[in-house]
């Protein structure tokens, strides 16, 4: 999903608690504009109302 949205002009973000998972994801999408953040799903490091859609 992240690649699809990035290819279609959307600002794409990904987050995970695992640094290893984030490194793997970054490797897979390095030619796309995707922002990754290491964080807990219980305490997300994003501003309230900062996204139009969350998948």
d(CA 11, CA 14): 10
> pLDDT at position 18, please?
95
Name the helix (H) or strand (E) containing 16: strand 12-16
Which of 54, 15, 51 shows the shortest CA–CA distance to 34? 15
Question: What pTM did the predictor assign?
Answer: 0.72
> pLDDT at position 16, please?
92
pLDDT per residue of the chain (55 residues) written in tens, 0 to 9: 888 988 999 999 989 999 999 999 999 998 998 999 999 888 888 888 888 888 8
Phi, psi of 19 (to 5 degrees): -65, -40
């Amino acid at each position: 999903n992240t690649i699809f949205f990035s290819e279609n002009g959307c600002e794409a973000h990904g987050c995970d608690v695992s640094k290893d998972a984030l490194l793997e994801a970054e490797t897979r999408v390095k030619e796309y504009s995707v922002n990754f953040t290491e964080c807990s799903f219980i305490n997300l490091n994003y501003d309230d109302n900062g996204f139009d859609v969350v998948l």
